[in-house]
Amino acid sequence: MTYHPDNFVVWTEIPTTDMDRAIGFYQAVLQTELTVDDTGPNPIAIFRTQTPGSGTAGHIYPGIPAARGAGPTVHFNAPGPLEDSLERVKTAGGTVVSPIITIPAGRFAYCEDLDGNSIGMMERG
């Protein structure tokens, strides 16, 4: 039997060397509020979905990011036009590292956050 879940990815974790700075970056780029939770062994800042407990989300946490270009890429839904999201990445101190790429599902671009984590901004078609 072959395993085919509704979602292969159930959660993402993005390490950061500076929680406050990373929270500010992601809130500015994604035009959202992250929820800080310090009830576990490490504080985390959670990307909230529209309906709690539904969809795939994740968090940022204090940790050691992979070397630039060496870690996995987390792709985010771009709020609004992709070009606007890429401008917010730059304004918030991140880096846009690719041109906009068109695929059947929409358009996206690769970026790096303040710690050099690879992220993608995606505008669905």
Report the predicted TM-score, pTM, of the whole model to 2 decimal places: 0.93
Q: What gap in Å lies between CA 105 and CA 70, rounded to an integer? A: 25
- Dig out the tokens for 75 from the structure: 């792709």
CA 122 → CA 6, 32, 61, 64, 110, distances in Å? 20, 16, 23, 25, 9
Domain ranges of the chain: 11-124
| CATH fold of the domain at 11-124 | 2,3-Dihydroxybiphenyl 1,2-Dioxygenase; domain 1 (3.10.180)
Tens-digit pLDDT string for the chain (125 aa): 899 888 888 899 999 999 999 999 999 999 999 999 999 999 999 999 888 777 788 999 999 999 987 899 999 999 999 999 999 999 999 999 999 999 999 999 999 999 999 999 999 98
What are the start-end ranges of the E strands in 63-117?
A: 73-77, 95-96, 101-103, 106-112
**How many C-beta atoms lie closer than 10 Å to residue 13's C-beta?**
11
> Which residues lie closer than 8 Å to 101 by C-beta, 6 or more apart?
107, 108, 109
